[in-house]
Amino acid sequence: MNRTARTLSFLALAGGITLGLVILFGPTYTICSSGSIGPNQTPGPTVCHSEGLVVAQRDSLFPAPLLWILMWSLAPLLAVVGVRFREDGTAEGSWLIGLALFMDLTGIISMGGGFVYALVVAPLLLITLIASFGIRPRMG
């Protein structure tokens, strides 16, 4: 069981970091603009292009949503540490995994990228928590 918990915690961490990078730098936003033509200010063609959150919200990126994305992306790191503590026989490891799960589940309140963390990363953390209860401490 400890191999399952360890693998799932690393998968959750990789998924969280990957989602954070995609949300921040991937072309997840569409920006449209239209110009005016001639002296009568006749509306011109609308031009749309995709860009990442860092470009779209460059003036209002800090503190939110950057801190939320950072929290959701790195919360699985607590699960990795928690699994390690459980392997060493420390009961506090389960609390760390549970805290990581709670942190990622807070993404459910976000209608943007946080919702994706709750759908993708949180189930991995839930299974990690369940699997961690079957970990037997190392002897020696």
DSSP per residue over 58-70, as a string? TTS-TTTTHHHHH
- Asked if residue 16 lies in contact with residue 75, where contact means CB atoms within 8 angstroms, the answer is yes
**pLDDT in the model for residue 139:** 62
Q: Lowest mean pLDDT of 8-12, 49-53, 63-67, 83-87, name the range.
A: 63-67
Report the pLDDT averaged over residues 87-103: 90
More confident residue, 104 or 137: 104
* Percentage helix, strand, coil for the chain under 3-state DSSP, each rounded to 5: 60, 15, 25
pLDDT digits (tens, 9 = 90+) for 19-62: 999 999 988 888 887 776 666 766 767 888 888 888 877 777 67
Looking at residue 92, its amino acid is: E
